[in-house]
């Protein structure tokens, strides 16, 4: 029997696993997909919010500010790219300026530092490409950007390196109360644990109902994004928001830690929790609003578009509670990414307070995860040294992003290990560039086939039946 079973291996589940692996506990992380970071963690704005938007006194406010304060140190421990670029909320009218002043006051009550509201002239000194209709702005220097799926994979990998177990393709169908805990069932497996932690994202309400808890519901809120080529990455140096509404923080224009420019998201409540389509109407809305916020965006440089589903809870706040050894971590919409390390701390406090298991600190917990090699970022001397130690780093597989065979092999061999082409992409950026895998995909398949010990045509794009090759050309009728 495990001490802890965590349902959902997104960024929140990953950080909960990492936090609890600091203690003498037997932990298992259950994920229904074939890889970690496959839900909202894979498709979001990649922002570490400063914390001025959340309602004063809410869990969102408390955990956002704490998580934001923690994130730089956590990123350093986990070897994850992080940039405190600051964020800006722009206003287009006197009414918007009043909203910005309210946000500043709220942020200060939440404990956010260094907030200021400035005029257009002052704003142009730090962002020269700001939209023509912008008249004022709130500046939050503590806002930051990070790669959400890289952060999740690093947190899960660090938890695994410290003894936690990851079970993929474990789609929870039923949970039963047993003598000293719970039994969690998938279609053909089961796991017993003293404590179950529900980090199932948009499905967290359905997981809660399996133990008789119908106290909340979760809606999927669809958000559409556009990602522009690195050629556009320097258009702004801050994350540029517009005044928020009841549907969220609105469209943003932001650099990414990898040098691209990201635009979005829209906000649309939908019934189908699997509907990740992009729409002409949604992307038109992204283009129109982004152009109002920032001038000079070259939308022709878009290299991909995508949709993410946010987990919007019925209470308007994060839903984090414990009863009889069952922990809900639900309704974790924005600022969930920013709050993830603080949410994990809070969950550990709840478990310690309930006493179902004893939280005894380990002496051998290692918080540090060796960062992956990013060959393209090394100096010439550093590149030569790496190649001398491993010639596989001399073979460039992805020419758009300059990703080497050595980096891909390193990723395939590092926890949590990828099993498909998209898993390699998220870990190395191979196939994330201008050609979107047109050149490098066959080579990635070849490396996966060799490392996984499977036939070339059995390698998938994203697990399941997503086969890329049907077989050898002359053998297909």
CA 316, 318, 320: angle at the middle one, nearest 5?
Answer: 135
Query: How far is it, in rounded angstroms, from Cα 12 to Cα 6?
Result: 10
CB 317 within 8 A of CB 28: no
Q: Which two tokens stand for residue 441?
A: 């995909």
Mention every residue, 6+ apart, whose C-beta is less than 8 A from residue 312: 218, 219, 220, 221, 269, 331, 333
Check: CB of residue 91 under 8 Å from CB of residue 243. yes
Between the CA atoms of 97, 114, 43 and 67, what dihedral angle is there, to the nearest 10 degrees?
-130
- As a whole number of angstroms, the distance between CA 119 and CA 342 comes to 34
Residue bearing tokens 């960024």: 11
Sheet strands (E) in 12-120: 27-30, 47-48, 82-83, 87-91, 116-119
Contact 166, 36 (CB under 8 A): yes
Determine if the peptide bond prior to 315 is cis (ω within 30°): no
CA distance 451 to 395: 17
The rounded distance, in Å, linking the Cα atoms of 447 and 449 is: 5
Chain centroid offset of residue 298 CA: 26
Catalytic residue (choose from 49, 238, 373, 395): 49
Burial of 381 (0-12, 13-18, 19+ CB in 10 A): exposed
Q: Which residues pair with 82 in a beta bridge?
A: 146
Helix or strand (DSSP H, E) at 343: helix 336-354
Q: How far apart are CA 50 and CA 281, in angstroms?
A: 30
Helices (H), 313-417: 336-354, 380-389, 405-412
DSSP per residue, 269-302: EES-TT-----HHHHHHHHHHHHHHBTT--GGGE
Cβ atoms 461, 448 nearer than 8 A: no
Structure tokens at 342: 């603080």
Residue 49 among the catalytic residues: yes
* CB neighbourhood size of 108 (10 A): 14
Residues catalogued as catalytic: 49
């Amino acid at each position: 029997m495990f001490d802890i079973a965590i349902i959902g291996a997104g960024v929140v589940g990953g950080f909960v696993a990492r936090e609890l692996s600091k203690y003498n506990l037997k932990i298992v992380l259950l994920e229904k997909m074939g890889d970690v970071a496959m839900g909202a963690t894979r498709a979001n704005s990649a922002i570490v919010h400063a914390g001025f938007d959340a309602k004063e006194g809410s869990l969102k406010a408390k955990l956002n500010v704490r998580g934001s304060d923690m994130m730089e140190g956590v990123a350093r421990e986990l070897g994850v790219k992080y940039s405190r670029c600051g964020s800006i909320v722009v206003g287009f009218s006197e009414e918007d300026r009043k909203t910005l002043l309210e946000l500043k006051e709220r942020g200060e009550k939440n404990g956010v530092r260094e907030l200021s509201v400035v005029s257009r002239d002052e704003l142009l000194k730090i962002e020269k490409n700001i939209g023509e209709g912008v008249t004022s702005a709130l500046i939050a220097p503590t806002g930051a950007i990070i790669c959400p799926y890289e952060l999740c994979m690093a947190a899960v990998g660090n938890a695994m390196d410290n003894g936690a177990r990851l079970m993929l393709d474990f789609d929870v169908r039923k949970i039963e109360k047993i003598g000293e805990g719970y039994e969690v069932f998938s279609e053909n497996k089961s796991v017993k644990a003293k404590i179950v932690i529900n980090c199932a994202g948009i499905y967290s309400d359905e997981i809660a109902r399996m133990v008789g808890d119908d106290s909340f519901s979760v809606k999927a809120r669809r958000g559409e994004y556009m990602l522009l080529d690195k050629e556009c990455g320097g258009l702004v140096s801050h994350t540029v928001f517009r005044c928020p509404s009841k549907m969220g923080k609105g469209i943003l224009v932001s650099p990414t830690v990898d040098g691209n420019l990201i635009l979005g998201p829209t906000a649309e409540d939908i019934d189908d929790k699997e509907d990740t389509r992009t729409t002409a109407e949604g992307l038109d809305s992204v283009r129109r609003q982004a152009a109002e916020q920032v001038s000079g965006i070259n939308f022709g440089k878009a290299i991909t578009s995508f949709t993410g589903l946010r987990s919007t809870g019925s209470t308007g706040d994060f839903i984090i509670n414990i009863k009889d050894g069952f922990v809900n971590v639900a309704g974790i919409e924005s600022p969930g990414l920013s709050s993830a390390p603080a949410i994990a701390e809070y969950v550990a406090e709840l478990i310690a307070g309930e006493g179902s298991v004893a939280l005894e600190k380990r002496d051998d917990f290692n918080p540090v995860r060796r960062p992956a090699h990013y060959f393209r970022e090394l100096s010439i001397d550093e590149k030569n040294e790496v190649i001398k130690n491993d010639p596989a780093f001399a073979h460039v597989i992805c020419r758009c992003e300059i990703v080497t065979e050595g980096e891909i092999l390193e990723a395939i061999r590092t926890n949590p290990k990828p099993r498909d082409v998209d898993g390699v992409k998220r870990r190395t950026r191979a196939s994330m560039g201008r050609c979107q895998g047109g050149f490098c995909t066959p080579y990635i398949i070849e490396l996966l086939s060799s490392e996984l010990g499977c036939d070339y045509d059995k390698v998938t794009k994203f697990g399941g039946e997503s086969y890329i090759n049907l077989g050898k050309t002359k053998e297909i009728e």
